[in-house]
Structure 1
Amino acid sequence: MTDIFTLDAEVRTDLGKGASRRLRHANKVPAILYGEGKEPVSLTLAHNKVFRAQQEEAFYSHVLTLNVDGKPVECLIKDMQRHPFKQVIMHLDFMRIDASHAVHTNVPVHFINEEAVVKKGAIVAHHVSEIAISCLPKNLPEFIEVDVADLEVGQTLHLSDVALPKGVTSDELAKGESHDLAVVTANAPKGKADDAEAEEETTEE
């Protein structure tokens, strides 16, 4: 797994759409490296190495090392453009990071113990697939684990209910209580929910 976090890159000076097209025909991926107050650098990477790496979920939320003409640079993947129907990576955006500066990125959510909620007769509904976080690079988690075992029918877990790893904060919650987004809900099966509403209406009548 470690190899997917290290990629070799070459600085490119031949820019423009035509140049990028030629690179792709040569099984290379055009990319750009920016951030940390330094000038953006245009790069070229081997498509087969990138394609293999991006198949791993951890690739998108892990500190990567780009060997730029032999010099290692730590960074995060910030954007990836894919071909609309071919299995081709069209372009990559990398953002430099500094070990002493907090990074802002999105990490995937892994929901666990959903079977315990299903046994209660509920249907689990995910509202998010990733969470925006801030932390120092050394504290960057590959994913956020959300345990739903204690979720009751009709209950919703919000961002404020999620236990984040040490040194990690939620970018959304930092904006205030109104950004306490719903993460997952245990919904009653549709038939049961309709029955309950019908009972309430009958009672009211």
Structure 2
Amino acid sequence: MAEYKLDAEIRTDFGKGAARRLRRESKVPAVIYGHGAEPQHVAIDSHALMMALKIPNVLIRLTVDGKSQLVLPKDVQREYIRQFLVHVDLLAVKRGEKVTVEVPIVVEGDLAPGGNLLEHTLNALPVEAEATHLPENVTVNVEGAEAGHSVLAKDVKLPSGVSLAVEEDVTVLQVVAAQAEEPTEAEETEAEGAEAAAEAGEETAAEGEESSEA
């Protein structure tokens, strides 16, 4: 797993006002924590950090005041509408250290014909792996899967050195049978008209029988 190199600077101002000033300077407030050390408050170039975060569970070689350390993004806060970075929590890690992360699930293959739907119970699979050898994703093949088919966590093939961090019988994906389409408004109106006509015909026939009997 490649390292993504970034620089950071120590920050001493806190609060919403300080955060807004950093964002005006195209920087993002972040906190580094882990290994029992005091949290370290830093600021990172927003564009560089955003590019790094495009890689799932990216391993970042962060240099602060001339000293470098490995960190993993653990909590990324974004602005709701424009999605710019607001704040990032970074976990300090070491080579050989095991960490738990959520790995994106990539689906391959086509379902069996019939219009059935693939339901994602999980979009990412919790796994435990060595901090410097995290998989970018895991692949699930659903080629030919029919309605009722499920993929459990234990069915997902994991890379060497990676283990599940969730119960084995947790459902990851399942194939759901296609549901009959609800009638459109026009179809409902047509059906109601046909039903009304049929009822009117029955009433006319009944009245005709009464007249003939009289």
TM range (shorter): 0.7 to 0.9
Q: 2-side partners of 1:29 and 1:17: how far apart?
A: 12
> Amino acid of the residue matched to residue 149 of structure 1?
E
- Counterpart for residue 149 of structure 2: 155
- Give matches, 1:22-61, under 5 Å: 22-54=21-53, 56=54, 58=55, 60-61=56-57
Corresponding residue to 1:185 among 174, 191, 197:
174
- Counterpart for residue 84 of structure 1: 80
Q: Secondary structure at the match of 1:138?
A: coil
RMSD: 2.0
Superposed displacement of residue 120, structure 1 = 5.8
Contact 1:126 1:185 in 2 (8 A): yes
Count how many residue pairs are aligned between Structure 1 and Structure 2. 180
- Counterpart for residue 198 of structure 2: none
Superposed displacement of residue 63, structure 1 = 1.6
Q: 2-side partners of 1:84 and 1:62: how far apart?
A: 22
Q: Secondary structure at the match of 2:180?
A: helix
- Quick one: structure 1 residues 87 and 172, their matched pair in 2 at CA, closer, same or farther if it must change by over 3 Å? closer
Q: Percent identity?
A: 33
Q: Secondary structure at the match of 1:131?
A: strand
- Give matches, 1:139-178, under 5 Å: 139-149=133-143, 151-173=145-167
Superposed displacement of residue 46, structure 1 = 0.9
- Give matches, 1:92-111, under 5 Å: 92-111=88-107
TM-score, length-scaled by structure 2: 0.77
> Amino acid of the residue matched to residue 15 of structure 2?
G
Q: 1-side partners of 2:151 and 2:70: how far apart?
A: 35
Higher alpha-carbon Rg: 2
Superposed displacement of residue 29, structure 1 = 0.6
Contact 1:121 1:153 in 2 (8 A): no
Contact 1:62 1:141 in 2 (8 A): no
- Quick one: structure 1 residues 118 and 68, their matched pair in 2 at CA, closer, same or farther if it must change by over 3 Å? farther
Q: 1-side partners of 2:117 and 2:57: how far apart?
A: 29
- Give matches, 1:4-19, under 5 Å: 5-19=4-18
Structure 1 runs, 4 residues or longer, greater than 3 Å off: 118-121
Superposed displacement of residue 118, structure 1 = 4.2
Q: 2-side partners of 1:53 and 1:66: how far apart?
A: 11
